Chain A
């Protein structure tokens, strides 16, 4: 089984549009939307929600004011400033560490589980999909990403599907690290801007840090040829495989508005042709077809 993670570092470079386009081309595949903070893949794929599960991400402290003697020990212990002067817990600040719960001399602090979101197994016209929705202002997005990737693997094994296409989150922090561990390869969708270059460089460094083979494609490459070349030179120097360039094409936005992939919207558009070339380049790469490195799982 192979798993390809689509990342970008910078947001808005076209990860989701390109992931959905690949879904039109790939066969025998499970889709996984690991951008649990702001998932968008479902807007194109219009999933039929088959199964829905609660995600219990952790616990949250809750002071029982009847037992509380206001000794102030919890305020003193809390490193997240989550205990207010009124001896109530600020749920947004609470990290769920439970230190106050364990060390309250009156045992006046409860520690109920918190519902941090939902995750789903759905059917789409292009294949099964595992996706999630992290509750607003919730923690533990990394844990939820790990969970849905695990479920996508189970589903792929059960349905005898050979590929998992994972739409990753932006950035390089906790949810991104959770999304790349033990993947076959990472595709970085870069845009030819100074910030696109900067962010691509950092996410490529992250992939290298975790020993995951990286490839790069440049989306909207004709917006700035100088920056496009700069990205490609950086890639060459750093063992990142360049899998192609995709033009700036309003067809991507038009397709999105109609909830279609670029191939469903206009398979003859320039961007569609170039996206197909990128996909062909990816699937023919040895790195993509090699067994997964036995790397240490970090999260």
Chain B
């Protein structure tokens, strides 16, 4: 079972929901932190990392002794990552999408695959829970390959909880795609609602069942509730706005540890998610 926790807008509480939900289910769960630009889940769960592994992308390197400067590599590259000069070839690694076109078309076998490090994957565990996160190197741009790498460690015997990045473009798709259910965390404000609608549109394209968690309930207005009702999307949980919760979060603590009554609430959330997946599977 794969549950992807997303939001559209940043800072609505994705990581809070992902980590607290995971902690309640501990040894049945693996948590995949796919917000690789700004991974935060480890700050709350403090896993022990057993292993770190770099994520590479293949980028071209030119063997100038073999190169005849025919420009075929430059012509196939749609991303402007190669510039063939009279006696040299310039490579702009940051523009390369690792499509492999240049390796394929070079008639002289002069394009060599070089590995470029995009980021790092951490493998860890905490309380019997398996924890994996991805971390983009600062200055790198290729995010989806790291997310895909994190997700390649999905264990079908466990409940997989994905902490997704904000937004609606390629990184979010990489973190949502092929999930069994998407949990959208929002806040009841105009920004929260606006970005929730974008997130719902994204989920619709992927055709995956979804539900909503309203975080900081009471801070704004009830437009999110009205929207959810109109769109027939279930609100699975509301976490009230409470300065105490905000402070627990700010210190990197877990709500279910500090306010034990929330353990049952998160378990109830999981039951609702499981029911929704069952229903969604029958449609």
Contacts and interface: CB of A to CB of B under 8 A. Distances in A.
A95 interface: yes
A255 to B, nearest CB: 10
B54 interface: no
A199 B40 contact: yes
B170 interface: yes
B197 to A, nearest CB: 10
A102 B172 CA distance: 29
A13 interface: yes
Contacts of A194: 40, 43-44, 250-252
B30 interface: no
Contact of B9 (A40, A134, A253): A40
A184 B95 CA distance: 24
Interface stretch (A26-34, A167-175, A275-283): A167-175
Contacts of B63: none
Given A38-B198, A92-B177, A172-B138, A98 B78 contact: yes
B136 interface: yes
A96 B101 CA distance: 12
Interface residues of A, number: 64
Interface string B30-50: 000000011010011000000
Given A40-B194, A79-B99, A173 B105 contact: no
A257 B11 CA distance: 18
A195 B219 contact: no
A137 B202 contact: yes
B100 A77 contact: yes
A299 B141 contact: yes
B40 to A, nearest CB: 4
Contact of B194 (A43, A92, A97): A43
Nearest to A80: B99
Contact of B37 (A38, A172, A223): A172
B247 interface: yes
A16 B166 CA distance: 15
Contact of A224 (B37, B171, B247): B247
B155 interface: no
Contact of B94 (A13, A136, A259, A299): A299
A120 to B, nearest CB: 16
B104 interface: yes
Interface string B203-226: 001100000000000011100000
B41 to A, nearest CB: 9
Interface string A105-116: 000000000000
12 contacts: A11-B166, A38-B167, A38-B198, A92-B173, A95-B97, A103-B105, A137-B169, A138-B169, A141-B169, A172-B37, A198-B43, A209-B139
Interface of B: 8-12, 15, 37-38, 40, 43-44, 76, 78-79, 94-95, 97-101, 104-105, 136, 138-143, 165-173, 177, 187, 189-191, 194-195, 198, 201-202, 205-206, 219-221, 243, 246-247, 249-252
